[in-house]
Chain A
Amino acid sequence: AQKITQTQPGMFVQEKEAVTLDCTYDTSDPSYGLFWYKQPSSGEMIFLIYQGSYDQQNATEGRYSLNFQKARKSANLVISASQLGDSALYFCAMREGGTSYGKLTFGQGTILTVHP
């Protein structure tokens, strides 16, 4: 079974609008961390935001926020006021707290295109 599922291969948004990128996860470990990374066309992986399984509040980092719904096992990334530079491939990833020594498991990614 997929541990991280991103069901949207591609998303389009108008500049200055908000967009939500979906991520669902599957784990039986009560301790885990969820991460979002951005991969622009240049190829590097840029860390955006983190949410821990025990965190009560949704994480926010500037224009990025994470809509964490633990019971639904979802961790959607919300980008507010989209900019042209937000066009990129976005990955959701999970680290489990067991004996996995912290490896990240990634989803398939969502390509976001921001239109002017």
Chain B
Amino acid sequence: GQQLNQSPQSMFIQEGEDVSMNCTSSSIFNTWLWYKQDPGEGPVLLIALYKAGELTSNGRLTAQFGITRKDSFLNISASIPSDVGIYFCAGGTQGGSNYKLTFGKGTLLTVNP
């Protein structure tokens, strides 16, 4: 089946630093989503991307839908302690019974104040 490779697996950064993480696949996706999960909670949707090449921002977060449709990137600028959590990418395909999202395994972000 489809698989997403999310990297890095974990990051330890200082408050104020910028962060980059990405997801890659050998499969093409028509949709890329980015979620954040706090400990003991469900994932919260951060950004949704529907067009190849699309660049979308949500506050200090910026995500891009790769032009090949096989990858996506998430950047966090000027990190703060509440950015701590696990960030997941998810790729979606459309048409027929291909309804579902394929999730990456997550990037654990730790921010040192």
Binding between chains A and B:
no
Binding site for A on B (CB under 8 A): none
Binding site for B on A (CB under 8 A): none
